[in-house]
Chain A
């Protein structure tokens, strides 16, 4: 007898370390091949594949539990992943719990960086791909539409997305608190390392357009400047031209201070009414801490930024219960609505016939 159920099967960052997730991650060609294979899988009425750096998940409507086992086997086989090992790390939920999980994933509650919004776009892309392959039917169409509504509701009515939780984005938020907008802000990046680059990109993503890179090795500065679409400045000029910049990001590996109190004082005499935001991401520090006492100068080091990021994370965590309660109500309501479609009373129907094109739900 065919019972039918909604399911989620997969592995996430909660259960699988990065090295394992790398092996499970679906490349574009593999995903296309698997899509074809799953489309032909008997008993699998609908499915959506969600494949991100933190999770590989299959959402679907299956006729029997064996159907899900077949899906798991097909996936492990394609990824050349030991099935016994997969069973240890897999996430598997059914029916209403699967709905609740999908809601929480889309709302960013299940993300490594709590409350992040990128996952929302990734879920949308996964659903769009399923629609393109005609693997999402009446049930999943409704489920995903309601998922997007629920995720938006959570973002609007709770503080789950408030305040950034990464150091680079916290720095950008602070700059916005000082300058209002970044379109006219002139940014100097000292050092051509990874953390400086990430911070520079965060500034660019929020509207900064005038970026200058200075590094102790000029060729490194040139290289990074080219990557970022910025200009390069000889390192020995960074203090004398400090007054030209509004935001200075220090991220060099220099053993000593590279921006002195005297240099900042001199720069502020040239631009007294315009604030100067100094971000010191270096260890040992690049900027003399004494400059923090100067009027209109705002200095933040790595610890300051990390502390704010942590406060934001705690704020988001405090919103978790509220978010879950909101989503739970909606998951209950949705499950009551889709349950008859997921497990209709069809005693005469065989599992093979259910997967035939004629038996597929209208799209």
Chain B
């Protein structure tokens, strides 16, 4: 059954599931009601499975973790964010977290699917058959998924903070989690993201040390800069120097920067050998 559909078709289904969650949430929002957490979770899980199958098929086709072009990287980041949502989303009492996650993953999924240029070239064997490099890349992208959720919870924090400061607490604002809950989950997500990214860089560093020439300088600098920025943010937060609104804004801005850096970093990588490149049929 799964082979009857292409990887992109599965990914379209996933994007549609996320869009449905977003639309249901928006309708509920406009009606001033909270939508069902169970329905949100269920639809997100269906979207997740579709995305998983799509990425699996793509991974089989390219012979490794599908991280060879912008399309695959953005899809993988969205999938990572959904994975985390399914793991921690149940701890939130309101469905607002699911709504925000659906919004992010729908935007990322549709954006990547709507940009043919991002998926024009499928690169195979980009990790040279080295599972450690593949693990390093997957871990790095997964940490981006964590940072995506961190940006979402930070956005929710900013909205909740705004509502309490401006004294607009009724209506849709009432469905947001509390300031403290959002702050706690934000610190945990940031810690997890920094840990994953550190582990990813550590794994990568071992292999780079053996072959310095294989390292792309732009990619290395941008990745280390993002890692350092998140690391500093975590340090300042734990030391009580960066908190509340400023902490939330920092997390949102950092994720935007990380997301925007994907394109240039990917473009700056060495062009693979023609033999390892598949051109998509129009």
Contact = CB atoms under 8 A, between A and B. Distances in A.
B167 A179 contact: no
Contacts of A361: none
Nearest to A270: B240
B178 A179 contact: yes
Nearest to A318: B32
Nearest to A311: B170
B66 interface: no
A148 interface: no
Interface in B156-185: 160, 163-165, 167, 169-170, 174, 176-181, 183
B89 interface: no
B169 A308 contact: yes
B243 interface: yes
B170 A308 contact: yes
Interface string A269-313: 000111100000000000000001001101010001001100110
Interface stretch (A15-23, A26-34, A170-178): A170-178
B244 to A, nearest CB: 5
Contact of A159 (B32, B243, B244, B245): B32
Interface residues of B, number: 24
A308 B170 CA distance: 8
A253 B146 CA distance: 51
Max count, chain A CB within 10 A of own CB: residue among B160, B164, B176, B183: B164
Give the size range of A's interface with the partner: 20 to 34
B269 interface: no
Interface string B29-44: 0001100000000000
Contacts of A177: 160, 163-164, 169, 174, 176, 178-179
Contact of A163 (B163, B174, B240): B174
B177 A308 contact: no
A307 B167 contact: yes
Interface of B: 32-33, 160, 163-165, 167, 169-170, 174, 176-181, 183, 237, 240-241, 243-246
20 contacts: A159-B33, A163-B174, A177-B160, A177-B164, A177-B174, A178-B179, A178-B180, A179-B180, A273-B183, A273-B237, A273-B243, A275-B179, A275-B244, A296-B243, A296-B244, A298-B164, A304-B167, A307-B167, A308-B167, A311-B170
Interface of A: 159, 163, 173-174, 176-180, 272-275, 292, 295-296, 298, 300, 304, 307-308, 311-312, 315
Given A177-B178, A304-B167, 7 more contacts: A177-B163, A177-B169, A177-B179, A273-B243, A295-B244, A300-B167, A311-B170
